[in-house]
Amino acid sequence: MWHSLRLLSRGCFMLIAVSLSGVYTPADHACTSEQYRCPVCLKPVVLKKGRYKIAHFSHQRIIDCYKSTYKTESLAHLQGKHQLYNMSRGLQVDMEYYLSDIEQIPDILIERRLAVELQLSVIPVDAIIRRSAGYRRLGMDVIWIADELKLTKQGDVLKLTAFQRSLVETSRMQLYSFDSEQNIFYCYQLTELTSDLQMRYIRSEIQTVADFTAVRGQLSACIALSNHQKKGFIRQCLKQKDVREPTLSALYQLRIQHQQLPASIGIVVPLQFFIRTHPITWQSQLLLALKQQTFSVQAFAVQLEYYGVNDVTMTSEELTAALIRQYSAAYNKLYVQY
């Protein structure tokens, strides 16, 4: 079941190979006078030291290995993986192990329970979700690490792309990153959604593997959009010049003037992190369904658009029900006087 492999762009490179005596040998401990083979295809590999920053093995021909199309990686990826391996010393750590049951190769596998994936390049969100599910089928947890240099920050606010959002460990609301220029790993503890639907954060440096799984906090705050923000979103809707635009259509049927939205429309709750649909849109649609007595969680869940995340454990209906509960509680807390 367990084999090791790593493939890089512009060649078939890896950090671990097998000696002729069957010993798995890291490239930085290998001897240039010995012969080594790829752990997957068993073809000869060449040890290279000095030309690159990090010692590695290379296939003589990229087509030699039948797993050569698994994925490509950069020198920064190689550097980060080597750093992760060093951080894991003292634990049972495997680098580049091929899991044949799911045909996946985690960068680092710790205690055969935690897969660590350094994902510095953008890939489809569906691939993140699919590969995460593969690890879970084997009873493993997974940590995804983003490229620190590609994160967009303004002060203590982080603007995540859909891809970066998919890497978030949502049970702890943490995003991990690697700065290849400084050779440092970071944890972004996401503390709250802002009124413009970005994320506030507290950043800390990761120095040990245990730091990746430390519990630091949860999203809890609920925020009401300002009138200026509400009007800004409505202007975007009006620009579409379509009477079927979902937000304007719902407001029209509710007999609500879009220039003066009520307090019950425009509340940002923590679970909005998972929802692509703007809060003004889904809250207008929710109030309309309640008014028309057509509401059901199942039907409303179909109306919502979701962000893909790698570790969500709720179904869309469970997430929708929890979202509505948060919304109701937030409205009561913000506006209902007892």
Residues 6+ apart with CB under 8 A from 161: 122
Specify the pLDDT at position 27. Answer: 83
DSSP 74-100: -HHHHHHHHHHHHHTBTB-EEESEEET
Task: Give the Cα separation of 48 and 137 in Å (integer).
Answer: 36
What is the pLDDT at residue 63? Answer: 61
pLDDT, position 277: 97
Nearest to 274 by CA among 230, 226, 237, 311: 311
Task: Output the CA–CA distances (angstroms, integers) from residue 116 to 38, 75, 84, 244, in the order listed.
Answer: 22, 17, 9, 45
What's residue 69's pLDDT? Answer: 46
CA distance 139 to 324: 32
Distance CA 176, CA 143 (A): 8
Strand pairing partners for 199? 158, 193
Fill in the DSSP letter of residue 35: -
Query: Alpha-carbon distance 29 to 125, whole Å?
Result: 36
Which CA distances in Å does 225 have to 156, 194, 266, 277, 311? 19, 9, 5, 15, 29
**94 Cβ contact list (under 8 Å, min separation 6):** 2, 4, 108, 109, 112
Residue with tokens 């980060």: 80
What is the pTM for the complete model shown? 0.80
The Cα–Cα gap between 139 and 256 comes to 50
Q: Please check whether residue 307 is in contact with residue 162, taking contact to mean a CB–CB distance below 8 angstroms.
A: yes
First vs last C-alpha separation in the chain: 62
Handedness of CA 51, 53, 56, 59 (dihedral sign): negative
CA distance 12 to 60: 8
Three-state DSSP class for 297? Answer: helix
What are the extents of the domains in the chain? 1-71, 73-221, 223-335
User: What is the rounded CA–CA span in Å between residue 12 and residue 2?
Assistant: 19
Cβ neighbors of 133 (< 8 A, separation 6 or more) are none
pLDDT in tens, the chain (338 residues): 333 333 333 345 677 788 888 787 888 888 888 888 887 777 888 888 765 557 888 877 666 565 554 556 677 888 898 889 888 888 888 887 888 898 898 999 999 999 999 999 999 999 999 999 999 999 999 999 999 999 999 999 999 999 999 999 998 999 999 999 999 999 999 999 998 899 999 999 999 988 988 877 677 789 999 999 999 999 999 998 887 899 999 999 999 999 999 999 999 999 999 999 999 999 999 999 999 999 999 999 999 999 998 888 889 999 999 999 999 999 988 776 54
